[in-house]
Structure 1
Amino acid sequence: MAGCTVPDTTPLSSVRLADGGAYAADVSPDGTVSVVSGVDNGIKVWETGATTPKFRWRHQGEGNNLVVSVHISADNQYVVSSDRTAFALWSVETGEPVGFWRIDESSIRDIAVANDGRGVLVGRSSGQVMYFEPGTQRRLEFLGHQEKINSVDLSPNGKFALTGGNDYTAYLWSTDSGQIIHTFHHPTRVTLVALDDAGRYLFTADSQQKSQIWDAQTGAPVSQLQYIARQKMFTDAVFSKDGKYLLTGSPSRRVNLWEVRTGELVESWKVAPRENQTPATAVVYGVGFLNPQTILTQSSSGLAETWEINYDQ
């Protein structure tokens, strides 16, 4: 791989979804829906290609927007959003809230939601992870982690959770029993975890150099992402529908496409920086595949940008 820098790249399209920038964003697995928590204008739900938002939501009424995490279910039907002390579940079909819940024990670090809104996963600064079923009010506390949670993900059916934290460990565990299925050790704190919606792979990355793709069924390593930087952080990751590629976003404007089998870099892009910010940078909050040739990114600049994949470069 030549060098550590990515030259500035030109998107196929660029649309501003949040004036003043964004605190958080997510892209649905098929790229058709985006949810953006804007600095100035609450939460907006966008259908890709639309010129106006489908819905506008707020946690705090007319107060300042403090939502720092959003996640779209794999079936595009539900969204979970959270600030540091509460989370809300929303219907993408009706635009109405399903419920609003406050967490008193410790601050919320990351969230995820299953298909049909049947389960919500909440990672907290205490190291505890809560799995909650809004329909039945069932609540399960996972106590496997010893330190602060940094990232969580949930299988589409809500049966399996993947969590990572400052204890240098990621766990795949059952939301039915809380039993650990696989344990993944890292040399430093685990900063991002991601499950393949088809159940084939999972991804765990730490704060230094270990960014690993694993076999979700056996827990065996498949590949390690190949890069020469001493430190590489990731903010989002999604597997392609065919399972051949992993798409990642980072805090430094970078979007990378990797080959799952080898961990080799296929292509890189750089999203637009946030306006009036020095240095000129942006956090890539959400990435998704629109189709095998096109990806969609959402970043702290408040922009939705589409990019062409050139597999032959």
Structure 2
Amino acid sequence: MTKGAIFLSVISAILLTACSGEQLSATKIEHAVEGAYAADISADGQYSVISSIHHGISLWDNKKNALKYQWSHQGSEQNQVFLTRFSDDASHVVTATSNEFAIWDVATGEAKGFYQIPESNIRDIAISAQARYVLYGLATGKVVHIDLNTGRRLEFLGHTEKINAVDMSANGHYALTGGNDYTAYFWDTRTAQVLHRFNHPSRVTMVKLEREGKYLFTADNQKQASIWDMRTGQAVSRLDYLARQEIFSSVRFVNQGDYLLTGSPSRVLALWDSKTGKQIQKWRVSPRKNSRPKSAVVYSATMVGEQILSESSAGLLETWNMNK
């Protein structure tokens, strides 16, 4: 190829990127060869846990860019883990199939227990710091909170339809749950007392607690995605987007709750101002190789300093730079 042709190719690539409005990721590391079923990044960005067809469950040390552990559920010939979650302190990981979950110690790599759930399909799961408590939501509408140290089991029966999303405070004392009954509840796991109820015009598909105890986030599958004051239950802001509907596949409060970081099934990764609901910046994660159409689900994202990290169904860990 001549120098002129190379120059024109470079200019064309720049123009295409500019026209699409997409910023390329600063780095890209493959964690799963043919894509992932599930993934999560620890809040500090040090670790990623990925569930995939060829590698089972993999724990990566992102700072060293090294595979740390590979895990699998007992008696499973084929990996069916579709949920992976870090505890808030990144000391443990919980992984779940539709009818069982396992707890893993990040320091040692050892399994701390396998638990069967025969009554209904697990829809979402969360784990507290130091893995003392587990919270999971079921297709029956029931939410279960378990103290793994004492065996105490509390069932929350406030929902009347299928659970879609659950989250739990780091100390395990508070839960936020949302379901197909158009409702999200913030409740005390020690008493099952409802502290705040949030009504939506459609199915609640995503919930999240801010780790410092300031905010709650709830979103439905249509147009309403709101940030609430955790103490009062009053609205703080509503995410401002032009699309007729916005579906979120991941969400996390970052920078002491100042920002909200969201991911979608349509490759979009976005940063929002928590107080105003305004979008600050957005990116599009890389699609899976040879996928038609070019697609990827954002499974998890976090902020470390002024850099964003994301994991997606493409099996890629990508990093993104903030606009100055």
**Shorter chain as normaliser: what TM range?**
over 0.9
**What is the 5 A alignment of 1:148-297?**
148-291=162-305, 293-297=306-310
State the Cα distance separating 1:60 from its structure 2 match. Answer: 4.3
Structure 2 segments unaligned to the other structure (5+ residues)? 1-18
Q: Which has the higher helix share?
A: 2
Q: Which deviates more, 43-52 or 79-88?
A: 43-52
Q: Aligned residue for 2:319?
A: 306
Deviation at 1:48, TM superposition (A): 1.2
Question: Hey, what does 2:90 align to over in structure 1?
Answer: 76
Aligned to 1:273, the other structure's residue is in SS state: coil
Deviations 1:26-66 (A, max 9, x none): 11111111111112211111111333311111014561110
The structure 1 residue matched to 2:154, chosen from 117, 120, 140, is: 140
Unaligned runs of 5+ in 1: none
The structure having more radius of gyration, on CA atoms, is 2
Q: Percent identity?
A: 48
Match of 1:37 in 2: 51
Shift in CA distance, 75/56, structure 1 to aligned 2, threshold 3 Å: same
Structure 1 vs Structure 2 CA RMSD: 1.2
Output the CA distance in 2 between the equivalents of 1:19 and 1:65.
15
Matched letter for residue 277 of structure 1: S
Change (3 A) 1:159 1:62: closer
Q: Following the alignment from structure 2 to structure 1, what is the Cα–Cα distance between the partners of residues 113 and 91?
A: 15
- Once residues 204 and 181 of structure 1 are traced to their aligned partners in structure 2, the CA distance between those partners, rounded to angstroms, is 15
TM-score between both structures, scaled by the size of structure 2: 0.92
Secondary structure of 2:186's aligned partner: strand
SS in 1 for 2:283: strand
**Partner Cα separation in structure 1 for residue 265 and residue 59 of structure 2:** 23
Find the residue that maps to 2:247 and give its secondary structure. Answer: coil
User: Greater CA deviation, 129-138 or 148-157?
Assistant: 129-138
- Find the aligned partners of 2:176 and 2:36 in 1 and give their Cα distance: 26
Aligned with 1:116: secondary structure?
A: helix
2:22/2:284 contact within 8 Å kept: yes
